[in-house]
Amino acid sequence: MTHKEIQQKATEAMRAKNTAALNTYRSLLAAFTNELVAKKRKPTEELDEEEIQTVIQRSAKQRKDSIEQFIKGNRADLVASEEEELKTLQELLPPQMPKEEIQKIAQQKKEELRIMDKSKMGMLMGAIMKEVKGKANGDDVKAVVESFFS
């Protein structure tokens, strides 16, 4: 997914009068600009695909966190809009790796790094996240790693 493709999708959503998708794409474009500024680059530049995926994943995680908070606060109206935006973001992300595959990689890394105790759990998490970057959810990786030490 490129910067221009996201802009095109925003235009399509506007023409289709799909306000949920339009709001999602607009917030993504704003997040792209913020990312560029944070990296001390010109706001008119474009992010590469890896940076775009990182921003989209961050936005999706924010939506998930918001949904959790809104559920706790009994705000069903806000939950629905956040879920709609999350659905749009997930369409832009590559398919996520199943837990079984994460478990294989985690086992391999655990043996490779010779990690036997819980004190090195962070090191194992870091190694696995580098391996599965963009293909697996951090929460899933954490659950797999914790299962080794429980």
Q: In CATH, what number does 99-148 get?
A: 1.10.10.410
pLDDT value at residue 119: 85
pLDDT value for 66: 94
Domain boundaries, the chain: 3-92, 99-148
For residue 139, the one-letter residue type is D
Q: Which fold has domain 3-92?
A: Hypothetical Protein Yqey; Chain: A; domain1 (1.10.1510)
Residue-level pLDDT at 59: 94
Interatomic CA distance for residues 149 and 80, integer angstroms:
37
Could you give the angle at the alpha carbon of 11 between the alpha carbons of 21 and 15, nearest 5°? Answer: 80
Tell me how far apart the alpha carbons of residues 22 and 56 are, in angstroms, rounded to a whole number.
15
Whole-structure pTM value? 0.77
Reading the chain (150 residues) residue by residue, the pLDDT tens digits are 788 999 999 999 999 999 999 999 999 999 999 999 999 999 889 999 888 988 998 999 999 999 999 999 999 889 999 999 999 999 998 888 888 898 898 889 888 888 888 888 888 888 888 888 878 888 888 888 888 877
- Both structure tokens of 102: 């994460």
Provide the CA 136 distance to its chain's centre, in angstroms.
9
